[in-house]
Amino acid sequence: SQYVAMEGIYKQYGNYEASKDVNFHITEGKIVALLGPSGSGKTTILRMLAGLEHPDQGDIYIAGKRVNSIVPAKRGIGFVFQNYALFRHMTVFDNIVFGLTVQKEDPNIIKKRVLELLDLVGLANLQDRYPGELSGGQRQRVAFARALAPRPDVLLLDEPFAAIDAKVKHELRQWLKATIKKSGITSIFVTHDQEEAVELADEIIVTNNGRIEQMGTPEEIYGQP
Ligand code: ADP
Ligand code: ADP
């Protein structure tokens, strides 16, 4: 099925072709890695799914709906930025609230939802801290909770482990994978790290020079684990 899809996508920045005939279909509930070397067009694909960039040609589908002319806030996506983009002057609690207030929800519903999310990411005891008082992994969890707050259909993550210490990466990947699976959300993340893609993803889309070179399960692409 075509839960998330790109069909015949082309994108140029000036004369530079960042996406050349990009096509893929993703099934609901999968965790998918966009894997490729720096400059291969991964982030461009993610940003076009989010509506932060627009293709010159082709169609984009989110949750089965064509979204080409739909603004980012209405696409049903959550976005975790590479540096997490948390608000330094806001507590953990308020950073997560921010993911919801754009929807003008009832304050009691907001509070209940934030407490649910704090529980999901295991940060209930740190809800009054500021981002500057957290580890990289804890900041990632806050960004993750904030992105999930409005119950998006699809979660997009740009290099979610770029700011994480090598020593704790493995543990945090396992945590993120388990937590994504628990929430059941279709997720797409960008990485240049093959080991990370294999460890986290159900399916891998390999990008090279603006094109999709391969797509399949880690086993299909790299053989038996
Ligand atoms: P990746 O995420 O795989 O590193 P990107 O999608 O970020 O690749 O970039 C693909 C190419 O497009 C790179 O060569 C990059 O320099 C170029 N590019 C990306 N964004 C812009 C932009 N806003 N303006 C001009 N060139 C860009
Ligand atoms: P308002 O005053 O706008 O109705 P709330 O009463 O919902 O807002 O919450 C105000 C602030 O109090 C929140 O943004 C948050 O920082 C803090 N807060 C609310 N509920 C909790 C809670 N259960 N635990 C910790 N902080 C909370």
- Ligand 2: residues with CB < 6 A are 91, 93-94, 97, 107, 111, 115, 127
**pLDDT value for 223:** 86
ipTM for the predicted complex comes to 0.67
Using the predicted structure, report yes or no on whether residue 125 has a pLDDT greater than 80. Answer: yes
DSSP for 27-58, written as a single string: -TT-EEEEE--TTSSHHHHHHHHHTSS--SEE
Ligand 2 geometric centre to CA of 97 (Å): 9
Ligand 2 geometric centre to CA of 111 (Å): 7
Question: pLDDT tens across 55-71, in order?
Answer: 999 999 999 999 999 99
Sheet of 203-208: strand order equals 77-80, 154-158, 186-191, 31-35, 203-208, 211-216
**Sign of the alpha-carbon dihedral angle for 79, 84, 90, 91:** positive
Question: pLDDT tens across 167-222, in order?
Answer: 889 999 999 999 999 989 999 999 999 999 999 999 999 999 999 999 999 999 99
Question: pLDDT tens across 47-57, in order?
Answer: 999 999 999 99
